[in-house]
Structure 1
Amino acid sequence: MKLSALIGERFKEWPSEAQLASHGLLIRGGYMRQVAGGIYTLLPPAKRVAAKIENIIRQEMDRIDGQEILMPVVLPRELWDESGRYESVGRELLRFRDRTGHDMLLAMTHEEAAVHLARTEAKSYLKYPFMIYQIQTKYRDEARSRGGLIRVREFTMKDAYSFHTSWEDLEKYYYRCHEAYERIYKRAGLGHVVSVKSDSGMMGGAIAHEFMFLCDDGEDTIAICPACGYRANMEVATGILDLVGDMGPEGLDVEEVATPGCKEIDSLCKFIGIPEKMLMKAVVFTKETTGTPVIVFVRGDLEVNEAKVRRLIGSDVSARVDEDGSDGICYGYIGPVGLDMDKFEVYFDESLRGMYNVVCGANKVDTHYKNVDLRQLPAEKFADVSKVTEQMVCPQCGKAHITLKNGIEVGNIFQLGDKYSKTMGMTYADKDGSLKTPIMGCYGIGVGRLLASVIEDSHDDYGPIWPISIAPWQVHINAIKRADDQVRQLADGLYEQLSDKGFEVLYDDRDLSAGVQFADADLLGTPIKVIVSPRNLKDGVVEIKTRDKSIAEKVPVENAASRVAEIAAALQKRIDDTL
């Protein structure tokens, strides 16, 4: 490819909307252009990277006996009615009607379509187990698209679905897929990826893992134990809470205290003179399936984990706001004393179990109670609904405190069980002729997010540093002062010679300054750069540099192509050695 013909301009200026390195560098380097919020066109450099990532994914899916198919993006409502997700999934699912008035949707995931296909093609136990996968466009009407390709509305995704006759067989295959994912990230050159327990969310299922790329700018939080390696997404992470300590004398009478204007934790603690951990606060949610309020109490120094609440009540939730007071809740002053627990769905976090002399709301404006004893509350009202903190001890080994790190999710796998196969009536004939329901797993990787994460992991102030396995081009030739006949002839010859050897070569054939050429080369991030210039040719050499700065040397002209091949092989070996 000659750079003079490459579609996509490169810019010096950092785009104002970009906060993440990958977002800014993809815009500056001519990799992508925004069409609408969270919707991008990929230009040739990004498309070439994406294609190589897809090829790695295909190879690894085929390696574990996957069979590639292609399902439609547009699906009829009936399929999602069968699973129950047409109504249960929120506004992120884009619903529309076709010209005949038929309800349709843009698929954000393809469990229903996979079952629809498999139930007609796998009616006998002899077909099992099997896995089908696709690399396909998805659409999710994301409320907070951000970070360029990290969180988008339209995206390319590899999604796979396995079908089994037993849980044991699913588990065995699940961990084969887990290993395949680890190989994919290593082959793509992405480091610092860990597997963590996660929330299955709208997907359902009993067991789920996310593959998290650890980075400071990640929007997800992962709880990690430095002693035993326990890892879990914040949505499912648990921890052993340090004891409150001395709670004072037992048997004190409940005392009503006027607390004018003390809606906030800080102001209330200062007013009464207590630490946050001796305060109980309430968070109110709306249960999406019924529209009714759910009141969750938690210790004052902790936060409620919304994902845990969703799993506890079996419904999506949203923050509830007091608009007209019609629900009978005294917002800002909620407490269990005098609260009608038959009228409301009420839960207490495990952090409150066994506590007494607690301060909480009195269900009256500007009023709180002191010395409330929570030990008499029904045991079934307690549940783990708080977020893990670094003050908590690892629940697995009990030896060390949890460490919280940020990360970006670059893949997920789920043991779905029969959530979809059963609701959609999928069966197969077993050996004895009886009809059985297959067990499912599903496995997803976002191609664009993986591409962006590689940049987050490997870049400098000047541009991406692409691993050779997924780089848009392997070699970048800079012809400095190309008007010089000797420079032009040698650069043209190297371009043809390296191309004939099978290398993907980007040739800067523009008559521009060395500074402009080198700046563009950095933005394009090609692993090996060959510099042809009049100064070097006087000595009969060319310069060869790697984008990661590990190699910078001058090589005799006649050895240039062979040396490039050696360096390329060494760069690939670095990746292969991680497998």
Structure 2
Amino acid sequence: MRRSAFFLPTLKETPSEAQIASHRLMLRAGMIRQSAAGIYSWLPLGWKVLRKIEQIVREEQDAAGAQELLMPTIQSADIWRESGRFDAYGKEMLRFKDRHDREMLYGPTNEELITQLFRDNVRSYRDLPKILYHIQWKFRDEVRPRFGVMRGREFLMKDSYSFDLDFEGAKMSYEAMFTAYLKTFKRMGLTAIPMQADSGAIGGNLTHEFHVLAETGESGVFYDIAYDDLAAKGEIDLAALNNLYAATDEKHVPGGPNVPPPERLREARGIEVGHIFYFGTKYSKAMNAQVQGKNGEPVFVEMGSYGIGVSRLVGAIIEAYHDDRGIKWPESVAPFKVGLVNLKTGDATCDATCDDLYAKLSAAGVEVLYDDRDERAGVKFADMDLIGLPWQLVAGPKGLAQGFVELKNRASGEKVELSVESALSKLIG
């Protein structure tokens, strides 16, 4: 994409309403614009990042055996009355009536709708297990939406739901999703700490929150150093994990029960980006979701649900990867891999070299944002640092006269002078 044609309205000044780094940088980098309190338009740069994150989530769900579908944003109040949640959910649910006076709602979550779909279409234990998911917009009418996409009213979420014949099967589905979550966050360059969460009226100990570590995270996180060893293995032993200590600052009591000694206790900041839990037959009994069991008897299916805040992850990654100049995207989620900077647009040699680099990188499948604007070098450099592309490839008259271009790594700040061919080889390889 040529920068001269790209819709990228960057800002020099920080908007006064932005209180945290990710909100400030997303506004300044032209990723989002607010349309109403807690509701945002995603501009092309932000949309590209959101789609990259969505695709990683999708690939790891598919790899874990989940199947994608798409449920609507608007749901009937009737199925929420079946589950008993319509009146109990609270003011976060946006309720309204259609032109035929039927009560409707903008879905804050999908347990009811997925249970209805399962109940109406699955009859036998032979069709189990099933894990179904979608990536869809949700709406929760927060009292005080703030922090940009970190706590908005409209947000993109991946929610998946498992259906099993018995608890042992449900536990296997839970473990599959647990492992998929760790792999998902790792691919985004994030360190995730899973911690046992409150199960409330559901009961049991199969419920975990996932907090990604970031210096500017919203919560204090305390955890046993052994978490690092478990996470490195890729496959998680839930029994071992549940014996380890992890808590947010709201629940951490220094010297309290199960708190490890100081040499094993790590303190960090975290952002919650995922929540998984097993709730057994809570919805299947309320909504009569049964299958024929192995002995011919009707069985209420065992269920679990698993959520990832896809749009929230955009903010979380920025909180984990930024400096005072802007964002520093991990390559896996970057909107473009390379920012190509022409230091003197209009110079025949610079134009020819940059056009050639742009064509060759694009032909090789490398996503490039080519800054071909007739702007000062300082403006171009500031914009590139702000939007945080992993690599900056800079071509100017002086360097080209000596046969080199400059390649800068945004994360480390390291700069090297290379021949055009060497730079291409490094970026394409």
Q: So what's the TM-score if we normalise by structure 1?
A: 0.68
Post-superposition Cα deviations, 1:216-237, rounded to whole Å, max 9, x if no partner, equal 54334445356884013467x5
Q: 1:521 aligns with which of 355, 378, 384?
A: 384
Aligned partners of 2:331, 2:372: CA distance in 1, in Å? Answer: 22
Question: Could you say which residue in structure 2 is the equivalent of 1:434?
Answer: 297
Aligned partners of 1:67, 1:505: CA distance in 2, in Å? Answer: 33
**Are 1:389 and 2:253 counterparts?**
yes
Question: Could you say which residue in structure 2 is the equivalent of 1:495?
Answer: 358
Aligned partners of 2:368, 2:200: CA distance in 1, in Å? Answer: 44
Post-superposition Cα deviations, 1:443-489, rounded to whole Å, max 9, x if no partner, equal 00011111111110011111110011110001110001111000001
**Are 1:67 and 2:67 counterparts?**
yes
Question: Could you say which residue in structure 1 is the equivalent of 2:35?
Answer: 35
More helix by share: 2
Aligned partners of 1:99, 1:155: CA distance in 2, in Å? Answer: 26
Aligned partners of 2:261, 2:369: CA distance in 1, in Å? Answer: 55
**1:443 alignment partner AA:** Y
Question: Could you say which residue in structure 1 is the equivalent of 2:213?
Answer: 214
Question: Could you say which residue in structure 1 is the equivalent of 2:396?
Answer: 533
Is there any run of 5+ residues in structure 2 with no aligned partner, and where? Answer: 227-242
Post-superposition Cα deviations, 1:470-510, rounded to whole Å, max 9, x if no partner, equal 10001110001111000001101100010000111100010
Given that 2:216 and 2:320 are in contact with CA atoms closer than 8 Å, whether structure 1 keeps it comes out as no
Given that 1:479 and 1:531 are in contact with CA atoms closer than 8 Å, whether structure 2 keeps it comes out as yes
Structure 1 residues 91, 402: CA separation in 2 closer, same or farther (over 3 Å shift)? farther
| Percent identity over paired residues | 42
- Give secondary structure in 2 for the equivalent of 1:455: helix
Q: So what's the TM-score if we normalise by structure 2?
A: 0.92
**1:469 alignment partner AA:** S
Given that 1:482 and 1:510 are in contact with CA atoms closer than 8 Å, whether structure 2 keeps it comes out as yes
- Give secondary structure in 2 for the equivalent of 1:8: coil
Q: 1:472 aligns with which of 313, 331, 335?
A: 335
Bigger Rg, structure 1 or 2: 1
The residue correspondences of 1:304-315 to structure 2 (distance < 5 A) are none
RMSD: 2.0
Given that 1:531 and 1:544 are in contact with CA atoms closer than 8 Å, whether structure 2 keeps it comes out as yes
Report how far residue 405 of structure 1 moved.
5.0
**1:467 alignment partner AA:** P
Q: 1:232 aligns with which of 240, 247, 254?
A: 247
Structure 1 residues 416, 477: CA separation in 2 closer, same or farther (over 3 Å shift)? same
- Give secondary structure in 1 for the equivalent of 2:49: helix
Structure 1 residues 159, 534: CA separation in 2 closer, same or farther (over 3 Å shift)? same
Structure 1 residues 550, 216: CA separation in 2 closer, same or farther (over 3 Å shift)? closer
**1:49 alignment partner AA:** V
**Are 1:50 and 2:65 counterparts?**
no
Given that 1:394 and 1:400 are in contact with CA atoms closer than 8 Å, whether structure 2 keeps it comes out as no
Structure 1 residues 528, 219: CA separation in 2 closer, same or farther (over 3 Å shift)? closer
Aligned partners of 2:161, 2:293: CA distance in 1, in Å? Answer: 20
Aligned length: 412
Question: Could you say which residue in structure 2 is the equivalent of 1:418?
Answer: 281
Structure 1 residues 473, 75: CA separation in 2 closer, same or farther (over 3 Å shift)? same
Q: 2:322 aligns with which of 459, 462, 484?
A: 459
Report how far residue 59 of structure 1 moved.
0.7
Question: Could you say which residue in structure 1 is the equivalent of 2:77?
Answer: 77
The residue correspondences of 1:99-248 to structure 2 (distance < 5 A) are 99-191=99-191, 193-200=192-199, 204=202, 206=204, 207-225=206-224, 229-233=244-248, 237=251
**2:404 alignment partner AA:** V
Aligned partners of 2:317, 2:114: CA distance in 1, in Å? Answer: 30
Structure 1 residues 562, 78: CA separation in 2 closer, same or farther (over 3 Å shift)? same
Given that 1:464 and 1:523 are in contact with CA atoms closer than 8 Å, whether structure 2 keeps it comes out as yes
**1:35 alignment partner AA:** S
Given that 1:10 and 1:30 are in contact with CA atoms closer than 8 Å, whether structure 2 keeps it comes out as yes
Given that 2:214 and 2:316 are in contact with CA atoms closer than 8 Å, whether structure 1 keeps it comes out as no
- Give secondary structure in 2 for the equivalent of 1:149: helix
- Give secondary structure in 2 for the equivalent of 1:87: coil
**2:328 alignment partner AA:** I
- Give secondary structure in 2 for the equivalent of 1:3: coil
